[in-house]
Amino acid sequence: MIPKEPQITIAICTYNRAGYLNDTLDDLSAQNVSSAVFEILVVNNNSEDGTETVCEIFTKTNPELNFRYLTENKQGLSFARNKAAREAQTPVIIYIDDDVILPRDYVQKALDYIEKRPSTMCAGGRIWVEFDENDPDWIPDELMPMFAFHDLGEDDKLYPASKFPIGANMMIRTSIFDAFGYFDTQLGRKGAQLLGSEEKHFFEKLRKNGIELHYWANLELTHRIGSNRLEKEYLEEQSLGIGRSERKRVSEIEFGTINKFGSELIKILGSFLLAIGYLVKGKTKAAGFILQFRVWVLKGFLNPDGAKKKSKTN
């Protein structure tokens, strides 16, 4: 029997990616389940492109879908995600990015999982990466998570202590927010500021309160990467943002800044060893990038209030 009310909310928080968003919404409209069992919630975080028009057209062309379009005027991905959490009309919310490719059975797999695992409060799915242009061979495997690549294997399991769900594909039961609060609005991307660490901060808080984090191998999607995100300026700002975000995240922890600084130095040493391995393989550009990345991250960590570069992607 098909439920009379939606059981799950697919939430998309978007900023200046109207073209990608249109494709993602098309994938959601083509799901192989009844439109009655899920709702789609788009939160527009001050986009300056055609995002609103895309959503208006989608509403008119898909009247059978449970689709809602909201705006969040406070700039920041965390503000948008928190609004989605408060506005969701189902007990389960799945956050996906506005630039992902979804298989036709994505929602069906999600529904099967939450039905069979009622005690699972948070879970993260597998994320593949697809570049709009040719795959760049100069990106080290170790840095693919910069593009939201997320693969912990074929089997469901608990996340190891060093891992956590990624925002492009993560499930959270909405009761979690009532019990433990929302995403930290001081962290996460804010328009031109390519910050992060809001997911890490959120899930660390849940872990400290005894909530298990589950890796969900069967819930897969593909994250699209545009050519602009491979430009040096963007990669530099993203890397600096990682360092700035980590500085903010650990600042509230006793000795957090000192300990994190020490771990960053260790990571630089490790990056030297990895770079040597890439040089041996003849991948000089990959060797250079892995070192440059670590230098940028450390620079951002040491200068958390540094000037931000202009960007039109969130």
Reported as a pLDDT band with limits 50, 70 and 90, residue 313 is: very low
Q: How far apart are CA 156 and CA 125, in angstroms?
A: 9
- Regarding whether 216 and 113 lie in a shared domain, the answer is yes
Residue range 140-166, pLDDT digits in tens: 999 999 999 999 999 999 999 999 999
Please give the biggest Cα pair distance in the chain.
60
Domain boundary among 230, 250, 265: 230
In a domain, 179, yes or no: yes
Residue 188, classed as helix, strand or coil, is: coil
Q: How far apart are CA 195 and CA 251, in angstroms?
A: 15
- Regarding whether 244 and 198 lie in a shared domain, the answer is no
- Regarding whether 28 and 82 lie in a shared domain, the answer is yes
In a domain, 3, yes or no: no
- Regarding whether 255 and 237 lie in a shared domain, the answer is yes
Q: pTM for this structure?
A: 0.90
- Regarding whether 252 and 134 lie in a shared domain, the answer is no
In a domain, 246, yes or no: yes
Residue range 263-310, pLDDT digits in tens: 889 999 999 999 999 999 999 999 999 999 999 999 999 988 875 444
Distances (CA, A) of 163 to 30, 158, 289: 32, 10, 23
In a domain, 113, yes or no: yes
Domain boundary among 200, 230, 260: 230
Task: Give residues with Cβ within 8 angstroms of 228, minimum separation 6.
Answer: 234, 313
In a domain, 310, yes or no: no
Q: How far apart are CA 126 and CA 219, in angstroms?
A: 6
- Regarding whether 145 and 63 lie in a shared domain, the answer is yes
Cβ pair 261, 301 in contact under 8 A: yes
Reported as a pLDDT band with limits 50, 70 and 90, residue 3 is: low
Q: How far apart are CA 180 and CA 159, in angstroms?
A: 19
Region 73-96: mean pLDDT is 96
Distances (CA, A) of 90 to 5, 10, 85, 110, 181: 9, 10, 10, 13, 17
In a domain, 312, yes or no: no
Region 24-53: mean pLDDT is 96
Q: State the pLDDT at residue 167.
A: 93
Q: How far apart are the two ends of the chain, measured CA to CA in Å? A: 40
Residue range 201-224, pLDDT digits in tens: 999 999 999 999 999 999 999 999
- Regarding whether 190 and 105 lie in a shared domain, the answer is yes
Task: Give residues with Cβ within 8 angstroms of 189, minimum separation 6.
Answer: 15, 76, 77, 195, 196, 241, 314
Structure tokens at 179: 């019990």
Q: Where on the phi/psi map is residue 199: left (φ > 0), alpha (ψ -120 to 50), or beta?
A: alpha
- Regarding whether 241 and 225 lie in a shared domain, the answer is no
Q: State the pLDDT at residue 311.
A: 44
- Regarding whether 79 and 35 lie in a shared domain, the answer is yes
Q: How far apart are CA 82 and CA 91, in angstroms?
A: 15
In a domain, 308, yes or no: no
- Compute φ and ψ for 214, nearest 5 degrees: -105, 135
Residue 253 has pLDDT above 70, yes or no: yes
- Regarding whether 212 and 242 lie in a shared domain, the answer is no
Domain that residue 184 falls in: 8-230
Reported as a pLDDT band with limits 50, 70 and 90, residue 2 is: low
- Regarding whether 210 and 102 lie in a shared domain, the answer is yes
Closest CA to 70 of 29, 38, 41: 41
Reported as a pLDDT band with limits 50, 70 and 90, residue 256 is: confident
| b/e per residue 14-35 (b: at least 16 CB within 10 A) | bbbbbebbbbbbebbeebebeb
In a domain, 91, yes or no: yes
Q: State the pLDDT at residue 309.
A: 46
Residue 106 has pLDDT above 50, yes or no: yes
Total domains in the chain come to 2
Q: State the pLDDT at residue 155.
A: 95
CATH number at residue 13: 3.90.550.10
Q: Which residues pair with 8 in a beta bridge?
A: 38
Residue range 175-204, pLDDT digits in tens: 999 999 999 998 888 877 777 789 999 999
Domain boundary among 193, 210, 230: 230
- Regarding whether 257 and 219 lie in a shared domain, the answer is no
The pLDDT mean for the chain works out to 92
